[in-house]
Amino acid sequence: MNMREKLQQGKVLAVVGLGYVGLPLALAFAQKIQTIGFDINEKKLNCYRHGIDPTGEAGNEAVQQTTLEFTADPAALEQAAFIIVAVPTPITEDDMPDLTAVKSASRIVGEHLCPGTIVCYESTVYPGVTRRICAPILEEASGLVCGKDFKVAYSPERINPGDKVHRLQNICKIVSATDEAALEDVAQVYGMVIDAEVYKAPTLEVAEAAKLIENAQRDVNIAFMNEVARAFHHMNIDTKEVIKAMNTKWNALHFTPGLVGGHCISVDPYYFIYEARRSGYVTHLAAASRLVNDSMAEFVATSTIREMIRADLRVHHSRVYLLGLTFKENCPDTRNSKAFQIARSLLKYEVDLSLVDPWLQKDTVPDDLQSYVVPVEAIHDADTLVITVQHKVFQDFSLDQLSHFYKANQHPKVLIDVKGIYERPAMEAAGFLYWSL
Residues with active-site annotation: 264
- Provide the greatest CA pair distance for the chain: 77
Q: Where are the alpha helices (DSSP H) in 358-406?
A: 392-395, 399-404
Instruction: Mention every residue, 6+ apart, whose C-beta is less than 8 A from residue 120.
Output: 82, 83, 84, 85, 152, 153, 154, 155, 175, 177, 186
Q: Using CA atoms, how far apart are residues 48 and 137, in angstroms rounded to an integer?
A: 30
Burial annotation 289-315 (CB, 10 A radius, 16+ → b, else e): bbebbeebbebbbebbbebbeebebeb
Q: Report CA-CA distances (Å) from 4 to 23, 119, 170, 300.
A: 20, 14, 20, 51
Q: Report which residue type is found at 395.
A: Q
Helix (H/G/I), strand (E/B), else coil: 210? helix
Contact 417, 423 (CB under 8 A): no
**Helices vs strands, H then E, count in the chain:** 17, 13
Q: Report CA-CA distances (Å) from 241 to 197, 341, 420, 422.
A: 38, 28, 10, 12
Helix (H/G/I), strand (E/B), else coil: 387? strand
Contact 84, 122 (CB under 8 A): yes
Give the residue from 356, 212, 349 showing the smallest Cα distance to 283: 212
Burial annotation 340-352 (CB, 10 A radius, 16+ → b, else e): bbbbbbbbebebb
Sheet strands side by side (includes 432-435):
352-356, 319-323, 384-387, 413-417, 432-435
Contact 131, 204 (CB under 8 A): yes
Q: Report which residue type is found at 31.
A: Q
